Structure 1
């Protein structure tokens, strides 16, 4: 049992002023002391800085305390006091420009958390000493911000792959003969959509593969229909190495197109349904597309493309003479030359101006691709998966590919509606829900009485990817639905990078999590060397699913086999990655590096705020400043000065947004990602845009 009072003394080979400056920053504590998930400034009290500190884990229990940061003597002593618990820590600094002696006196530390109460003094002393040593690493630049999960240990990684795929039931152990047939099928078609449906057709041809508005389609039917479609396309002259465009919503026709073209070795450009006609024309020309597969509702977007470009209807039959997928499937063809390599998907990166870049996604590399996600997300064979996330988005596409390996039944709504999503979960007893963050937000916005109409107790995994999840959204969702939320951080270029499971999110709601099996994540400085744990740098990722390059653009920067994600972040003391923001979002205001995300996180806790985005804009005096764009909840009373005062009391003065603009809605792309470049026009003035609606500056 820990005693009520004891001291910890440490000698640090770094200047006293450096130690002082680090300990005065609230963000330092979760970055260097494991077990502290968050440390957020709140309204000051009694002239002291107030911190909301989150301690513990999902297993040991989470405790949230309000703690005062009291400055006793500048550069020499400070205290962390928790009045509600009658506990405090006194920190004394002695030393000079070369060395520092740190004396920490702990009073009643066991009152802060049951796990501390049950620990020994020696355990707590070692914990404090490790945190203080990380201060030395921060000042001296120790290269410690590297997270590796089996990427550098091939034997262990192979053993883990076997463990995860066998544990999930991907490889059958009771029917070796069936397993051999499936492996032969996968070898023939590849570990892709085509191979997944073909293997499913051998193992369980009658199992439902897909449910959409038109009904159900089995694995056997999917394999037969896509083989016939591929043969008919081959008769029409499409060959391996060609590229086609696919402009469709989520439904069976989109999936059948991807599978059939993959069987022919044809690349498919997945076109965002929200792109304007001019950008679609640019994609057609840039990627040299040989044909277009398009839902009839999107015909106005492709109507004026060159008439020689063949078109096929993926949904509907409104245009005489235009073949539909049913027409192709009914031709009776079944033979075609199997390609040496299956077709690839070209995913359009989310751009806010100009034509999005096309990124070639690689085919999954055997069972290692499946095992990577299974190592962080507990999915099992034969379950039902709901995918409202668009399939033209990397996350929706990855989930569909994973579903075939697990022989899941995929429920595929063509468009997202929050209440309809819950209805589908209840109707089909969905176990896994694949979403993007705006969908999580919209589900939470449903009134409690509406959510209560639907039995969602079958849900075991809600996996979100595509943009950051605000900490307040994470906590609200887990309060409403339980510990079933998973936050996947990645990109079109690097696939996955990290996954935050419910234990990570309960402890540190804003974290991006830890790397899955076979992945290496490093936070690098300008010299491409790892920065210390707790320091901010560029996030680089290495795994076996890095993209195969852009169609017509230079690839991202590379270092030691890893790609630059374009994000800035840091690794905390518990080995979790945190994203500070995009490198092009960070501003320099009055010589200080300032990130928009902490301001967005703080404002998201305000009960009057429905949505918020913060961007950097030019400033004559400081070079740059922050501007906040806020969507208020209906009937909420909130003005710009209240917003500024709220941030002023919680973050640095450079984080206070000079401009606060209230909007009816934030501009979003087709996956729900906020399009920040559309918010501020030239000179930092709010930009008018039809998506935003009426703008009321500084109201």
Structure 2
């Protein structure tokens, strides 16, 4: 019987024009070329071909399969390096086999999800891989959640086990079994519950053998909302390599090159970076805490050619660069990444240009969300030619702007953003109200328009629009104008109640050190570029905007919001 297209494609047994005849799910020829160009598709010897085929047959397209394939292809290559040491692909495969047996022995598995409450390190990677081998769903828990939020999430997701860094132990609610990372202390009592240690579980393993084809585990990613308890979004395992190929058609990763994932692994973007890096057989460089210094050191010391980050991290790196005085080379050494890929929050056009001026034209900005995955990607050329753009739809992606009548909006006219791609949203785990759907496309909740080059420009969230004196006003253009003022480091613009007009805009502005900027100058800038009703009523100057780990502004913490 012939091998399925999955195995034929991944092992690279096709050559020449015959390879282009194969479709990767709903991917295009352009996406197929991207997989070959990046090195994901390449020839293998018979021995390694067997190991790769076996891994894919067992685990499908998943993070578990990606690392198992790595163990078959390049067992002695470093898989993960973190603050505590290094682990090869072969070592990670053995450790996760043992951990999976221990999880099964403890009761985790199908219908018994495992929560992961950890900073970026090897431990959460091992838990995700092992959970897939045990058939357990994985719930990625935001390390910035409050105890109350975590208690709500644990109940909604019916967590059987929570693997947590010791610093988060007090946040973990009663009920789930608790496994701590970072120390071989063994099971011990903590009040009325019993704690276990991840390292002990790895060495203890469990009786029996792992299932050859375990239940397909899902990864539950929590929405990164800034208020209330986050919702769990079900992320299906891809049915092909088309989702990866879509991203690779624009972001040029290469197989075997070291990758620094600075974005939190619990976030959609950090998790996507992990999967893409493992798919490419990369050495994955992780650091528990982000600082500009650790960021640059990770790139320099491990010669990372690719970085996954969130926009606020780039802003912090630029600020630190200014504080210490510009060196001849912004990276501080011979390692100059080809790709710095960001997502998770808005990337101001001025910040993109400033970063590339200092660190080279290596910046890629992906616009998406937990629900829709990706929508568009802006590469260095787009960010140079059209600062502020969210980019173009990559291969295999449908991007449409719909007007109020659900018809495609003309070029340059704002409407609601809808998208379709090869990684469909399966809904929220709690059955909450889902985003809009139109003709098989999912709404992002954002408003924007396309230019004549097919580039997307976002105006703001649909629910951020206010009505001021009978006029519809979006905060986005106002925020862009203020951010472009000399002396402004970053700005946030939102609607507030107004006795006379119903609603008006207010602005929160962070200035550069030593900048002498007044509220009247801010209002004057907006008045010179937009209509009178777009001028912010109040202007608040702050030392910094309150943000969560992915860089989104915590609106409830903005002073004077009410």
In 2, Cα distance between equivalents of 1:154 and 1:633? 49
1:326 to 195, 199, 208: 199
**Can you list the C-alpha shifts for 1:266-304, whole angstroms capped at 9, x where unaligned?**
1111111111101100011111111111110101112xx
1:311 to 170, 178, 183: 178
Alignment of 1:281-320 (within 5 A): 281-302=151-172, 305-306=173-174, 308-316=175-183
In 2, Cα distance between equivalents of 1:515 and 1:217? 36
Q: CA deviation at 1:623?
A: 2.1
Q: CA deviation at 1:529?
A: 2.0
Q: CA deviation at 1:558?
A: 0.7
SS in 2 for 1:487: strand
Contact 2:109 2:131 in 1 (8 A): no
Alignment of 1:20-31 (within 5 A): none
1:254 to 99, 124, 132: 124
**Can you list the C-alpha shifts for 1:285-341, whole angstroms capped at 9, x where unaligned?**
111111111110101112xx22x4211012345785122121111125472224553
SS in 2 for 1:469: coil
Q: CA deviation at 1:176?
A: 6.1
In 2, Cα distance between equivalents of 1:513 and 1:473? 15
SS in 2 for 1:209: strand
1:476 to 340, 343, 354: 354
SS in 1 for 2:345: coil
**Can you list the C-alpha shifts for 1:641-683, whole angstroms capped at 9, x where unaligned?**
1211122122222221110011222111121211224326xxx
Is the aligned partner of 1:366 residue 2:240? yes
In 2, Cα distance between equivalents of 1:471 and 1:383? 29
**Aligned counterpart, 2:482:** 603
Is the aligned partner of 1:638 residue 2:517? yes
**Aligned counterpart, 1:594:** 473
**Aligned counterpart, 1:496:** 374
Q: Structure 1 unaligned segments of length 5 or more: list them.
A: 1-152, 688-699
1:536 and 1:189, CA in 2 relative to 1: closer, same or farther beyond 3 A?
A: same
**Aligned counterpart, 1:346:** 220
Q: CA deviation at 1:451?
A: 5.5
In 2, Cα distance between equivalents of 1:180 and 1:233? 27
1:211 to 81, 87, 91: 81
CA RMSD of aligned residues (A): 2.0
In 1, Cα distance between equivalents of 2:268 and 2:485? 32
In 1, Cα distance between equivalents of 2:179 and 2:51? 34
Aligned residues: 528
1:477 and 1:191, CA in 2 relative to 1: closer, same or farther beyond 3 A?
A: same
Alignment of 1:504-653 (within 5 A): 504-552=382-430, 553-653=432-532
**Can you list the C-alpha shifts for 1:441-462, whole angstroms capped at 9, x where unaligned?**
1111123455627126421001
In 1, Cα distance between equivalents of 2:28 and 2:521? 55
**Aligned counterpart, 1:89:** none
Q: Structure 2 unaligned segments of length 5 or more: list them.
A: 1-22, 189-194
SS in 2 for 1:160: helix
Is the aligned partner of 1:654 residue 2:533? yes
Is the aligned partner of 1:458 residue 2:342? no
- Name the larger-Rg structure: 1
Contact 1:433 1:462 in 2 (8 A): yes
**Aligned counterpart, 1:7:** none
Is the aligned partner of 1:221 residue 2:88? no
1:415 to 289, 309, 313: 289
Is the aligned partner of 1:679 residue 2:549? no
Q: CA deviation at 1:177?
A: 5.6
The more displaced of 166-175 and 225-234 is: 166-175
1:672 and 1:248, CA in 2 relative to 1: closer, same or farther beyond 3 A?
A: same
Contact 1:419 1:450 in 2 (8 A): no
In 1, Cα distance between equivalents of 2:26 and 2:80? 35
In 1, Cα distance between equivalents of 2:351 and 2:133? 41
In 2, Cα distance between equivalents of 1:375 and 1:500? 12
**Can you list the C-alpha shifts for 1:50-108, whole angstroms capped at 9, x where unaligned?**
xxxxxxxxxxxxxxxxxxxxxxxxxxxxxxxxxxxxxxxxxxxxxxxxxxxxxxxxxxx
Q: TM-score, normalised by structure 1?
A: 0.73
Q: CA deviation at 1:158?
A: 4.5
**Aligned counterpart, 1:275:** 145
SS in 1 for 2:463: coil
**Aligned counterpart, 1:433:** 307
In 1, Cα distance between equivalents of 2:104 and 2:44? 39
In 2, Cα distance between equivalents of 1:192 and 1:155? 15
In 1, Cα distance between equivalents of 2:202 and 2:438? 47
1:339 and 1:177, CA in 2 relative to 1: closer, same or farther beyond 3 A?
A: closer
Q: CA deviation at 1:205?
A: 0.4
2:52 to 182, 196, 203: 182
In 2, Cα distance between equivalents of 1:666 and 1:161? 39
